[in-house]
Structures are given as structure tokens and as C-alpha cells.
Amino acid sequence: MVISDIPNATPLNYNAEVQLGNSPLDRNDYNSVVKEIYLRHLIDGSIKQNESQHIVTGVQIYDMQAGRMIISHDQDKEQFAASINKLPVSLLLLEDFRSGKVNMNQTVTWTTDDRRGGFGDFDKPDAPLQAPLKDVLFDMLNKSGNTALRVVVNNVLGGPQAVNDRWATKPQLSHTRLQLLDATHFYLGNSTPHDSMWSMQELMRKQDQYSGFMKNAMSDNIFTDFGVRSQLGDSDYVLLVNKIGLLDDVEGNNRHDVGIMYNKKTHKSYAYSFMTTAPYDANDTSATVRADQSLKDMGQYLLRYVGGRRAATGPDKSALPQPEKRINY
């Protein structure tokens, strides 16, 4: 079956929102096969529109119950990861929690030289210089704290080289590395849709107190007006656990969103990774605006496929997060 076989399918205009309530994603008289074909059609249209503006776009969507990839496009193409590389960093912490090497209540201490700007509580100029590890981890995942990330890498995991050495033992992270500057300083480096989605799946694969803590941190993260979460309605039965990456840099403006959607009624889960890098142009931001919109579009399509509905109101433009510059951690 192809898209033209769907009865009364309306030709799509990708510059406008697909009509709600009348597409196969929203109608109960279409079976799951038709809805999946339509979802692929919509996502493919968004990808093509991105690439027409030279936006590097990598996408994966995975049915976790069926163990089957629904969509995969440039899944191994490396892009600068921005904050989504906080996911594989968290994965190493998860392993150390489970092995007893570290515990969530231990106190972590750092100095003012470790402080980095960002959205996190510990990024503030007057923030404390010590906290329980669970508070540092929450800040890193819920608010994408940058001081928290530096503290975890250097003061808990043994430094950026130690992190890279452990990632190197995992073939599923073959494209994911921190970019080392010296023994304690680094950039977040590259990743791919495949690597980032695998990291999220591994974090959520086995439910215990540690993964449950991380799930709660990411399911209630502060970035409600960006990407997929900005499209989330009916959150009483559709759970979204996600991490974003948001960076403007002369090598490319990154807009990434990686997560898992779970429908509490159908008990179905879908993992996804949407990664985009728009060409940097100080005088023309149209490609970056398009990349931003594509995350919302693809998120809306997938949420509707999973069974959710779009949020009733749009985002508060004044509350949109401002992109960071590439950070020397």
C-alpha cells in the first residue's frame, strides 16, 4: 500500500499544519498499517523540506513492543550532539548506581571554576558548590544543567577520557565521544540518531529506582515550549520522556530531540530521535527557524500516531529557551 491508496487522502502542503481530526492519524476507521504509512509519508515530507534548505536531518522512530524500526533516515550521520550527549553520560551513572560504585545520596563538591552558564540551578552565579549526587543528576536531566554535567564527568566518572573509554566498549555508541581539550575540559562532541536513541532506550529499559528517578526528571523537564513537548496534549495518558539539544554555533545550529512516548491506555511505547543541524548564517536564520519547526511537526505527527492530541494552545513565545553557544566544559 502507498499513500495514494488511502481513501480520500488530502494532498499535503508541508508549509501548513496537516488538518487535525481528518487525517488517518486521528481517525479510528483506519487500521494501524494505514496510519504507519501515513506517518512515514508525513515525516518524509518534513525531512525533504529540511534538506531543501540544506538542513542535515537524521531521524529514527522505533516500535519498542514490536521490536521494529518504523522510520530510519541518516541514522548514522554524525552531528554535534549538544545536550543530548547528557544521555550516554547518564547511562554510565546508571551503571555505577547499580553496581554500587556510587550512590545517589553521596555529596559531590566542586569549585567556582567548574561553574558553567545554562538553565540549571547550579549554573546560577550564587548557586552552592556541593549537593547530593541525585540533585546534580536531576539538574542535568530536568534543566539540562551544564555545571552539573561537568561535575558528573570530572568529579564522579573520572574525567572525559574515562567517559570516552567506557563508551568505546559499547558498539551501540560507536559515533558518540566527548571532544577532549585537556584532562578536565571538553566539548560534548558528536552523536547520531542511532546512538542517542539507543542511550535513551537503555536508560529506560529496566525499571528500578535509578531509571525511575531519571524518567521522572525527563518526563517533567522544563523545556515545555520547544520541540516535541510543545505539541503534547492529553498528557494524562500519553507520557513523554525526552531530552533536547539546543545550540547555535558557526559550524551549524543544532536542534535535537530524543525521547520515548508511552500510551498508558494501549501500553505501547515508541522511541524516537530527531536530529537537525542548520547551516549557520548570521544574516539569515530561516533554515534554523525551519529546523525548529520540523521538530514540532515530526513530534506532532508521532504524538498523534501514538494516540495523543496536540496541545490546545501554542507555546508562550516569550518563554522559549534561548540557544546556547558551544560550551567548553
Where b means 16+ CB within 10 Å and e means fewer, 280-292 reads eeeeeeebbebbb
Q: What is the pLDDT of residue 146?
A: 98
Dihedral sign, Cα of residue 119, residue 121, residue 122, residue 123: positive
Contacts of 291 by beta carbon, 8 Å cutoff, 6+ apart: 50, 55, 57, 253, 255, 276, 277, 278
178 domain-assigned: yes
218 domain-assigned: yes
State how far the Cα of 315 lies from the Cα of 147, in Å rounded to an integer. 27
**Could you report the per-residue pLDDT of 47-58, keeping only the tens digit for each?**
999 999 999 999
What is the span of the domain harbouring residue 265?
Answer: 3-8+19-319
Grade residue 317 by pLDDT with cuts at 50, 70 and 90: very low
Of 15, 28, 79, which Cα lies nearest the Cα of 307?
28
Q: Which helix (H) or strand (E) holds 203?
A: helix 193-205
Q: What is the pLDDT of residue 158?
A: 98
328 domain-assigned: no
223 domain-assigned: yes
68 domain-assigned: yes
The count of structural domains within the chain is 1
315 domain-assigned: yes
**Could you report the per-residue pLDDT of 213-233, keeping only the tens digit for each?**
999 999 999 999 999 999 998
Which CATH number belongs to the domain containing residue 169 in this structure?
3.40.710.10
**Could you report the per-residue pLDDT of 99-134, keeping only the tens digit for each?**
999 999 999 999 999 999 999 999 999 999 999 999
Q: Are 1 and 32 in contact, with CB atoms under 8 Å apart?
A: no
Percent of the chain at pLDDT exceeding 70:
88
User: What's the rounded mean pLDDT across residues 289-294?
Assistant: 97
98 domain-assigned: yes
14 domain-assigned: no
State how far the Cα of 9 lies from the Cα of 55, in Å rounded to an integer. 28
